Amino acid sequence: MPSRPLATPTDVAYLAELMRDFPASKSVTPQEAIAVIQGRYQSIEQSTGNLVEAISREREKLKLAETFRTLAMLFHLALFRDLLSNAGNFRQPTEPNHGYVGFGKVDVRSPSLAQFNGTRADGIEDELSDAFTLLSSADRDPVRNSVVFYQKFVRIHPFYDGNGRIARALVTIYLRLYDYHVLWKALETTKKNEFIKRLNACHKREKNPGLLAEYQEHLFSFWNKFVVPISNMTGP
């Protein structure tokens, strides 16, 4: 999984806003915090192989949907511990602006600036439960399920920040359990904008199940080009 590109001024300003509202023990600037987060994400990337092995050993005893839900929260904690006081927790309705977050080109906490709205904070648990059900041991089409899960997770936007990183890590681990590998480098260096465009097309049709299913099929057809059996893997 390639690490996220260098932060933009908008990224820095957004993290500064979160650090003001969720102050934590580590005294760093937003720029320093972003460097820390990027380093921590690289550690998560490096740990995915060990996590796959651990889950595989206990697979018959685990409920995978619950395991991946726990991993999502642990990854968020790993990224933001000592930087945000809400590290490891989903957005809450008791938080500023009732836990609202919007997203699109950038994450924002103002509905007037957002391209899309994350799920209301009081509805996150229910919607995530449906999304994580896709990552179950009974799945017969893991490649399709992985990208539908990815789209649902980033649309729900359960955290104020880090949703894309966390979704990538979860999907990587999930697919490796089925002996598939995501060509993240090829995707992000050659077709990132098209991937985002197809995700957004699904987000726009979230309230129309028929159209959503149709556009998720378009998304799957695109995604399928970047997921390969590990036995056939020829590149990163």
Tell me the CATH number at 130.
1.10.3290
Residue-number span of the structural domain to which 118 is assigned = 9-180
Kindly state whether residue 68 falls inside one of the protein's structural domains.
yes
Kindly state whether residue 21 falls inside one of the protein's structural domains.
yes
Number of domains within the chain: 1
Which of the four pLDDT bands, split at 50, 70 and 90, describes residue 157? very high
Which of the four pLDDT bands, split at 50, 70 and 90, describes residue 3? very low
Characterize the bridge pairing of strands 227-229 and 180-182: antiparallel
- Residue 236, pLDDT above cutoff 80: no
Residue 223 in contact with residue 180, Cβ under 8 Å?
A: no
Over residues 216-224, the mean pLDDT reads 97
The per-residue pLDDT for 231 is: 87
pLDDT tens column, 113-133: 999 999 999 999 999 999 999
DSSP per residue, 123-144: GHHHHHHHHHHTSSTT-S-HHH
Percent of the chain having pLDDT more than 90?
A: 90
The per-residue pLDDT for 232 is: 78
- The pLDDT mean for the chain works out to 94
Kindly state whether residue 231 falls inside one of the protein's structural domains.
no
Kindly state whether residue 216 falls inside one of the protein's structural domains.
no
Percent of the chain having pLDDT more than 70?
A: 94
pLDDT tens column, 170-200: 999 999 999 999 999 999 999 999 999 999 9
Kindly state whether residue 211 falls inside one of the protein's structural domains.
no
User: Rounded to whole angstroms, how far apart are CA atoms 118 and 111?
Assistant: 10
Kindly state whether residue 213 falls inside one of the protein's structural domains.
no
Residue 104 in contact with residue 114, Cβ under 8 Å?
A: yes
Kindly state whether residue 45 falls inside one of the protein's structural domains.
yes
Kindly state whether residue 235 falls inside one of the protein's structural domains.
no
The per-residue pLDDT for 136 is: 86
The per-residue pLDDT for 172 is: 98
What pTM, to 2 d.p., does this model score?
0.94
